[in-house]
């Protein structure tokens, strides 16, 4: 499975849990989280996360930190602070996203790959507010 691949659904077909894997090669300059795999694995494991994508965003102190875009599951919408706390309980603190944005949908290409430039622009707009 390559970068930006989408594994698909639950075996019972009752609900779709999609994991969007996004390459974040410079994310926090840590080799261990080069592709953001650990962060996405734990995020998609949260019961209120339907889809997730993680990108790197500029940070004054660390250079770059993770920002997660979450599409809520049909069961409800997670609170951003609780989701960051949940990540910190399940992974190393430096791997947890510093920013979480709840969105209705992720920008996808015709082949269902995340449009990362669109996410970077959206993150820049949201962080400037």
Encode pLDDT of 11-48 as tens digits: 444 433 434 433 333 333 333 334 456 788 888 888 89
The mean pLDDT values, 10 residues at a time, for the chain of 129 residues are: 47 42 37 54 86 90 90 92 89 88 92 90 90
In this structure, is residue 115 part of a structural domain?
yes
At 121 the pLDDT is 94
Give pTM, 2 decimals.
0.70
Whole-angstrom distance, CA of residue 38 vs CA of residue 90? 10
User: What is the domain count for the chain?
Assistant: 1
In this structure, is residue 93 part of a structural domain?
yes
Whole-angstrom distance, CA of residue 114 vs CA of residue 123? 14
Domain range for 48 is 27-128
Q: Which CATH number do you get for residue 65?
A: 3.30.300.30
């Amino acid at each position: 499975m390559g970068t930006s691949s989408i594994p698909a659904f639950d075996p019972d077909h009752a609900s779709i849990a999609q994991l969007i894997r996004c390459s974040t090669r410079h994310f926090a300059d840590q080799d261990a989280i080069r592709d953001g795999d650990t962060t996405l694995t734990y995020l998609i494991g949260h019961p209120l996360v339907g889809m997730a994508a993680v990108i790197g965003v500029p940070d004054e102190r660390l250079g770059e930190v993770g920002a997660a875009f979450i599409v809520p599951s049909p069961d409800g919408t997670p609170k951003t602070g609780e989701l960051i706390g949940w990540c910190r309980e399940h992974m190393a603190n430096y791997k947890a996203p510093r920013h979480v944005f709840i969105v209705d949908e992720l920008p996808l290409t015709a082949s269902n790959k995340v449009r990362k430039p669109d996410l970077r622009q959206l993150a820049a707009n949201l962080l400037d507010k």
